[in-house]
């Protein structure tokens, strides 16, 4: 986007990991940032403090993205606090692993509520409130492409997000708002470590699938977000960028 000074971004799930990296990078580039979190306020407030101490503008806002009213209140806060909304980064999400046969109703419903309905809630609000020439970035996963067992429901929610991404890009025709998605691969975050214990056979299979022979970092993903935000990329919309170290290439480990 041209002239990020004066632009405003909402980053959901921004208190840690990928979301925090994106929020901090946007603030460093001149965006005012709403740092959304769902539970623990401390990490979000610490991120806001770092941004402000570095000369940026940021505020934390608690909202469960699966709650439409909370999402609406977050957008209202951003508009009142900073004067409008130009960028939405739909990063909030959860990960749960199990085979289809072993997936409980509660796990299924929770994945749908946060990953799919949460993204929908923010997209619906963003379609009404984001200013012309804005940017929307959704989050998918490389598991949509790699089709790894035990991730069926999680990957299904993200495949649905990719579909909404492409359709919403068309629905916002004429407003110069681009809508794209990022599909991270194995990224060294707390979420990954919790789901993939060190030394577990499943974890080793994931590591062996990385063609570039290293785990990704939140900063790698943030650079993907900046690609979509660049003023040079206003002609890119409805696309999915895989930031995954080649895990979807289907190559045997070497």
Q: What is the CATH number of the domain that holds 128?
A: 3.40.50.720
pLDDT at 48 over 50: yes
The CA distance from 21 to 71, in Å, is 21
Q: Which of 41, 36, 42 is nearest to 13 (CA)?
A: 36
Cβ-in-10-Å burial (0-12, 13-18, 19+) of 30 comes to middle
**pLDDT band for position 57 (50/70/90)?**
very high
Q: Is 139 domain-assigned?
A: yes
pLDDT tens per residue across span 28-44:
999 999 999 999 999 99
* pLDDT of 250: 61
pLDDT at 205 over 80: no
Number of domains in the chain: 1
Q: Is 209 domain-assigned?
A: no
Bridge-partner residues for 139, per DSSP? Answer: 182
Average pLDDT for residues 213-223, to the nearest whole number?
Answer: 91
pLDDT at 130 over 70: yes
Average pLDDT, the chain: 92
Q: Is 38 domain-assigned?
A: yes
Q: Is 42 domain-assigned?
A: yes
Q: Is 82 domain-assigned?
A: yes
Could you list the residue range(s) of the whole structural domain that residue 52 is in? 8-185+217-236
Residue 187 vs residues 6, 106, 141, 243: alpha-carbon distances, Å: 31, 26, 11, 9
The answer to whether 160 and 219 are in contact (CB under 8 A) is no
Q: Is 204 domain-assigned?
A: no
Q: Is 208 domain-assigned?
A: no
**pLDDT band for position 104 (50/70/90)?**
very high
Q: Is 146 domain-assigned?
A: yes
Annotated active-site residue in 37, 151, 154, 242 = 154
Average pLDDT for residues 155-166, to the nearest whole number?
Answer: 98
* pLDDT of 200: 78
* pLDDT of 254: 39
Q: Tell me if residue 154 is catalytic.
A: yes
Among all chains, which residue has been given the structure tokens 């022979």?
213
The packing angle between helices 118-129 and 152-171, to 10°, is 10
């Amino acid at each position: 986007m041209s002239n990020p000074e004066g632009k405003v971004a909402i980053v959901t799930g921004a208190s840690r990991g990928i979301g925090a990296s994106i929020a901090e990078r946007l603030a460093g580039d001149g965006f005012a940032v709403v740092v959304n979190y769902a539970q623990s306020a401390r990490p979000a407030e610490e991120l806001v403090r770092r941004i402000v101490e570095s000369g940026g503008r940021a505020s934390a806002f608690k909202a469960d993205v699966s709650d439409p009213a909370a999402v609406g209140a977050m957008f209202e806060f951003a508009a009142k606090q900073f004067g409008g909304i130009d960028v939405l980064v739909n990063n909030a999400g959860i990960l749960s692993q199990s085979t289809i046969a072993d997936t409980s109703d509660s796990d299924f419903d929770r994945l749908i509520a946060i990953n799919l309905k949460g993204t929908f809630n923010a997209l619906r609000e963003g379609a009404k409130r984001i200013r012309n020439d804005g940017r929307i970035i959704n989050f998918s996963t490389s598991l949509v492409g790699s089709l790894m067992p035990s991730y069926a429901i999680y990957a299904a929610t993200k495949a649905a997000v990719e579909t909404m991404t492409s359709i919403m890009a068309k629905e916002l025709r004429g407003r110069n708002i681009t809508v794209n998605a990022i599909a991270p691969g194995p990224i060294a975050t707390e979420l990954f470590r919790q789901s993939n214990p060190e030394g577990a056979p499943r974890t080793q299979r994931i590591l062996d699938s990385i063609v570039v022979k290293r785990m990704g970092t939140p900063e790698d993903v943030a650079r993907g977000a900046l690609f979509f935000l660049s003023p040079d990329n206003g002609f890119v919309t409805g696309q999915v960028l895989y930031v995954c170290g080649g895990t979807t290439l289907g190559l045997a480990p070497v």
